[in-house]
A and B are shown apart, each in its own frame.
Chain A
C-alpha cells in the first residue's frame, strides 16, 4: 500500500528554529537560495526563549582590556582544553560582530551610562562580557531573529517534526517527518540540511530543558551516518530550583552570582573557597574580601570562586549536600538578598524575582534561594568542520547545541547564545554555498520514504500495550540515578542494560486514537531518539576513563594528560553504535602561547 505524503523542495532546509536555526535560515536566505525552516513547536517558542543571562562577546564596553584572545582563553580553559581550538577562536573573534548585528536588527539591550551595550559578569569569564537585557536575553534574541526572518519572507513549517534525514550513498537529500497538528507526513527534498535541533536534556528527570529537547537532531545525524563527539559531557547547571517539586530543575541564572550573589551551606559558610581546583587557583580569590572587591575592581583582584565554571560549582554543591551541609530540600543556599539592595536586585534580575515570588513563595530580596544541580546542556554533538559546520556527511550541517566541539568538556555560561549566532550564521552561509555548487535535481528514493512512513505508523497497530510515557519516565529515572554528575563503571553498565530493556519495550508501544495532534503518538516517536542519545551518552561515559569538565568518574577521579588529546567519537555502523578514540586537532603555536604566558 502506498503511503500518502506531501512534498516540499528547497535548496536548504533548516531543522529547528531556536537561535541557531533562525540565524542559519536568515543567512542562507540572504545568499539568495530557497530556504525552508522546519520547527517542532510554534515559531518563537523554541528553547532559546528560556535563556536568561546573556550573550558572551568581547565588545570591551565595560572593560576595555577585554578582547577575543581573552575570551578564547577563558572558553578553552572552561572546557578544560578539550575544545576544538578553531571553533573557539572563530567564536571569540566573531561574537562581537554578531551581537552588533542583532542590535541593528532591533534587539533591546541594557546599556551603559554612555548608551553602549552593557555587559555583565558570568562564571569563567575574566571580564564582564555578557550582553543582556535583564534576565530575559533569550526572549529578546529569539523575537529579534524571528521577526527578521519573517521580514525576509522565509517559508516556515511550524509544528512539524522531522523524524529522519534522507541520504543516498553519497550525500544528504532531504528529510522526512510529520505535521504535529494533523499527523500528515511531509517530505522535504533539499540539497543541504542544517541541523539546529538543540539538546538532549529530556533523557534526565531533573532538567531545565523543555519537552522539545529529546535529542532528535543528535539521533537523526547518527542514523544518517554522521559522527558524534564528546557525548559523555553533559552539563549540570549548578543552580536549578529544588523546591517546590513541581518547579524542580528550572534554572536560576548565573547572573545572580554575576551580580553579587553567593553560595552558602547550612552552616552559613561560603563553601566555594574550599573547592578551587589547582587549575584555577592562581586566578581565583582565596578570601571573601578579595572576592567581593573583584566585582568593582578586576585589575587588582581575582575572580570570586562563586563564578568558577559550572562543572566545578555543580560538583562542589553535590559534595556539600552529600556531606550533610545542604539545605532542607537537598540543595544549598544562594544568597543575594543580604548582599545587594532590593531595588538593584529587582532591576537586574526581574524574572528571577518574580519566578521565586510566584512559584516558590520566596522573596529573593529578603530570603535565600534553595538551589541544586539540574541537567542543562550537552557539550557533545555532531562532529563538524570548524569553519563550515559541515558534518562528516556531505550536505549535512549542524550549529548550536546539536553540534559538538566548541565547548570542549564544559561550556561557559553566555557562550551558548553567542555560539548560536556565530555558528548559526556560518551554517546558513556554507549550506547555501554548498547548495549553489551542487547541480542537478534532488532525487529521493521513494521506497526508502515509504518504509519510514510505515514504521512511523506502527504504534497504532501493534498487538502489545506498552505506554510511551512510562518508558520515557523510566529512562529519565535510569539516567538520573546511574549516569550522574559523579559516575562509576558499574553504574554505567547497569544503565546500559536498562536502556537495552527499554529499547525492547519501546518496540511494543501502542497508542490509541487518530493522528490529529496525538501526544501519545508523538512521545512514542520521540522514544527512539531519546533512547539512542541516552545510549550514546552512557557508552561514551564508559569509554572516557578520567574526570574532566562535565564528566566525573568516581573510579577515575584524575584528569589525565593523554585523554586531553582525544575525543570519544560515536558512530553507527551496520545498525550498531560504535565507539572510537580519535585525536583532537592540534592548536597552532601562536595560540598556545596565550596559555603559557600567564602561568
Chain B
C-alpha cells in the first residue's frame, strides 16, 4: 500500500477565476479512509479554503455527493483504497450550477420537490383520537423502498436526460411521488398525475437506468418511473373509453 495518494480536486472561486480548474493535493493514504476523510484532511491541514458539503459521515444525510473518477458517489462511502493508484479525481456533481469548488446549487431540485406534492392527500381526515391508519406489511412493502431516498442528488447527476433537458422533473422527485401514490393512506394520485404525466414528467425518461445504478439506498427510481408509466398508460386508456370507466 502507498504512503500517500494524490487527489485532483476541482477548484472554482467565482470571484477570482472564470472557470473551474483541478488542483492536486498529496494526502496520507490510510486503508480506512474514504474520500471525505481526505477532503477534510486537505481543508484542515493543507488548504483551509476548500469548500464542500458534508454532515453525518454515515450515509444518511445525503450531503456529500460528488463525482469521484467520473462517477457520482457519496464521498463518505467511497474508500480511497478502491480508487488506487490515483490521482483520484474529485469533482462537483454534474448538471447543477457550481457555487464554489465542490458545492453545487440545488435550488432546482427544491422547486421540483414541491411540484410532486410529497405529502399525504386525503379527501377526509379522521380525528387523532381514533388512532392511526392501519397498514399491513404488504401495504408497507408497496412504498417502503421509495421512502429510503436521502435527496443526495446522485441520480440527477447520473441522468443524461436531466443533462439535456433541465426541466425534466427527474428520478428522485418521481420516485418520491410514487412513494406517496403507493401509500395506502394517500388519495392524491390524481393530483400528481398532471405533473408526472405532463411534458416534464415520466415520458422524458428513455429508461437509461443510470439513476438506479448510482443510488446509494437502492431506491430504484428507474423502477418507479417504469411502474408509473404503466399506471399512466392505463389511466390514459381509460380516458378513451366511452362509458366513463374512470
Contact = CB atoms under 8 A, between A and B. Distances in A.
A394 interface: no
Interface in A338-374: 351, 354-355, 358-359
B84 interface: no
Nearest to B16: A514
B53 interface: yes
Interface stretch (A63-71, A97-105, A186-194, A497-505): A97-105
Contacts of A106: 119-120, 180, 183, 185-186
Contact of A181 (B31, B99, B148): B99
Contact of A210 (B61, B77, B101): B61
Interface of A: 41-45, 47, 49-50, 97, 100-101, 103-106, 108-111, 114-117, 136, 138-140, 143, 147-148, 150-151, 158, 181, 210-212, 244-247, 250, 351, 354-355, 358-359, 467-469, 473, 511-514, 516-520, 523
B134 A116 contact: yes
A45 B32 contact: no
12 contacts: A44-B151, A50-B56, A100-B132, A104-B125, A104-B128, A104-B133, A211-B54, A351-B58, A351-B60, A469-B44, A513-B13, A519-B49
A365 B144 CA distance: 23
B60 A150 contact: no
Interface string B33-64: 11001000001110011110111111111110
A519 B63 contact: no
B61 A511 contact: no
B110 interface: yes
Contact of A212 (B30, B55, B59, B137): B55
A212 B54 CA distance: 10
B131 interface: yes
B119 A151 contact: yes
A355 B106 contact: no
Contact of B61 (A50, A105, A523): A50
A45 B48 contact: no
B49 A513 contact: yes
B89 interface: no
B106 to A, nearest CB: 7
Contacts of A244: 31-32
A42 B63 contact: yes
Contacts of A520: 48-49
Interface in B95-140: 99-101, 103, 105-106, 110, 113-114, 117-120, 125, 128, 131-137, 140
B134 A114 contact: yes
Contacts of A212: 55
Contact of A358 (B44, B48, B77): B77
Contacts of A148: 119
Q: By CB atoms of chain A within 10 A, which of B56, B57, B117, B150 has the most?
A: B56
Contact of B48 (A42, A97, A116, A469): A469
Contacts of B62: 44-45
A84 B131 CA distance: 29
Classify chain B: how many residues form its interface, as a range: 35 or more
B103 A101 contact: no
Nearest to B144: A108
B129 to A, nearest CB: 9
A246 B41 CA distance: 11
B72 to A, nearest CB: 17
A359 B110 CA distance: 30
B110 A45 contact: no
B38 to A, nearest CB: 10
Q: By CB atoms of chain A within 10 A, which of B51, B99, B136 has the most?
A: B51
Contacts of A158: 110
B64 to A, nearest CB: 10
A111 B136 contact: yes
A117 B13 contact: no
B54 A115 contact: no
Contacts of A354: 59
Given A41-B63, A181-B99, A517-B99, 10 more contacts: A49-B61, A108-B143, A115-B135, A136-B148, A210-B57, A245-B32, A250-B58, A514-B13, A519-B49, A520-B48
B60 A136 contact: yes
A246 B37 contact: yes
Contact of A45 (B63, B100, B120): B63
Nearest to A111: B135
A117 B135 CA distance: 9
A148 B120 CA distance: 9
Interface in B50-89: 50-51, 53-63, 77
A158 B53 CA distance: 13
B128 A100 contact: yes
Given A117-B132, A519-B43, A50 B58 contact: yes
B227 interface: no
Contacts of A473: 44
Given A468-B48, A469-B44, A103 B119 contact: no
B198 interface: no
Contacts of A116: 131-132, 134
A100 B51 CA distance: 41
A104 B147 CA distance: 16
B51 to A, nearest CB: 4
B60 to A, nearest CB: 6
A103 B61 contact: no
Given A103-B132, A211-B54, A512-B49, A45 B180 contact: no
B48 A516 contact: no
B13 A210 contact: no
Q: By CB atoms of chain B within 10 A, which of A103, A158, A250 has the most?
A: A103
